[in-house]
Structure 1
């Protein structure tokens, strides 16, 4: 059983136009606070990001924000966090998020959310970490992405083992259960010293 004391959430800096997404972000924040799970996220006070952080803080939970210096200057940063970490660039930000977290959840978002999600899955696939990764599929937001991943499996670009690294649910409580029960696979066979 994985002990999830700190979970990094990837999500949009915009609110989008589906209120179910905003509501789900707030609900997840409340669950984090009630379970004493620290939220690790991108430190913004706007969008879905701002909603989940506010939800955790409103329920007296802990929030760690990690933001690159160039974004901090654009006045998007949340100044009421438990802890704020500033990095030099986006690459250092993602590395710090990985180091600070016991698991990851992607909520709806845009290009940046997808980029963060797929980088952290790739790191798991390569054996660089062994932490669970969840996709909270609110209101079918990620249905098409899941179909695309299934196409990648059918076309031979993604193995079923790697496809199964991404834990998917539309219910935050069930998703957390899946993450707690996640058992990472061994280091990929093709990552060894004998490989030419």
Structure 2
């Protein structure tokens, strides 16, 4: 699939209505990944590329009623699916490109991104923008409910050395974008990279 934003939008628009039905058992994996962020009550968090908003309820539970939860996605059809699922009650939904967020600098405590990396047209630019909106010491969680090898197999592909999610590629990409990779897990049952916003 092309990295062009219009192509990304078209890809997800065509799949939005049935997206959640394709992955019905991912809820616990999302909740565990959100828990790894260690969010506190009253915190402010962005679900970048939120899709149908599957992480929003867990993010809301983590920051409580006094916290702020924002879900941003490029594709209106995915946001509409989030509303149909009632997930707009867990956070504010915003149609936006995560590489150009309409947010003030340093206003967030954390960013959660499920399946985000492969859909960023310019990954370094996207991560720099996410770093801009997160306070120093804030966190970034890059998550997928299955690991790189399992995901490649699902799509009938082999893992390649240029995979941005591979630790030797991801670490310098994040470092050059304002983040320090703090932990990295790539197992068949989950992918979770946690990074800290450099000060």
Q: TM-score range by the shorter chain?
A: 0.3 to 0.5
Give the TM-score, by structure 1 length.
0.46
Higher helix share: 1
The structure that has the greater radius of gyration is: 1
Give the TM-score, by structure 2 length.
0.46
Higher strand share: 2
State the structure with bigger RCO (CA 8 A, min sep 6), 1 or 2.
Answer: 1
